Chain A
Amino acid sequence: KNEVEQSPQNLTAQEGEFITINCSYSVGISALHWLQQHPGGGIVSLFMLSSGKKKHGRLIATINIQEKHSSLHITASHPRDSAVYICAVIGGDSNYQLIWGAGTKLIIKP
């Protein structure tokens, strides 16, 4: 079993829909990153959070440390949001490793 699991693996939605991507982890963590990777490989850091909720524009990230779960929400989705969304946790045995999820491929159709 992977230490960081993301769901769904693939998600296709219509423009304007509310999107939720989930990340569950089985290790103790210090913090969690959400990142976005566009076709071609470029990766952009979206959020780093260790508790509660953060918002940036149409993106919202939440984390529940007790339940070992984080969600990334996109409101009013747009085709330019199409990308792979990856969560990564700072945790594991050493508590300093960055452990990556497999990513969620999101396609927003116009």
Chain B
Amino acid sequence: KAGVTQTPRYLIKTRGQQVTLSCSPISGHRSVSWYQQTPGQGLQFLFEYFSETQRNKGNFPGRFSGRQFSNSRSEMNVSTLELGDSALYLCASSLAGYFYNEQFFGPGTRLTVL
């Protein structure tokens, strides 16, 4: 069974640009969660999608958005990039959500904002 895949693995952008990250969950998993990991803040929850609907949301500004498609693949978008957005972005999939099941993490996308 294929694991969680994230693309791209590495990304370099400049301030003010926007970026879209993609996450393909394990087949059969309907929940996808997104996290930001930085050395200073550790892991922080961005949002969770379940069956194409955002079910939970962390405390991030509106520049961070996401969506989920009917095949459960999810995308995360960050608009008007800031230097502080440089981080490892991780997605995790689970059958029904982190509230119910263990999560399986992808390898992450490392975003560098210059």
Chain A residues with CB under 8 Å of chain B are: 30-31, 33, 35, 41-45, 47-48, 86, 88, 90, 94, 96-103
Contacts and interface: CB of A to CB of B under 8 A. Distances in A.
B42 interface: yes
A97 B102 contact: no
Does more than half of chain A's interface fall in helix, strand or loop, or is it mixed? strand
A45 B56 contact: no
Interface residues of B, number: 23
Interface string B47-84: 00000000110100000000000000000000000000
Given A41-B107, A42-B107, A48 B56 contact: no
A44 B101 contact: no
B102 A86 contact: no
Contact of B105 (A30, A44, A97, A100): A44
Contact of B103 (A30, A45, A96): A45
Nearest to B44: A100
A96 B37 CA distance: 19
**Which of B42, B56, B92 is the most central at the interface, judged by chain A CB atoms within 10 Å of its CB?**
B42
Contact of A43 (B42, B44, B90, B99): B90
B56 A42 contact: no
Contacts of B110: 41
Contacts of B35: 100
Contacts of A88: 43
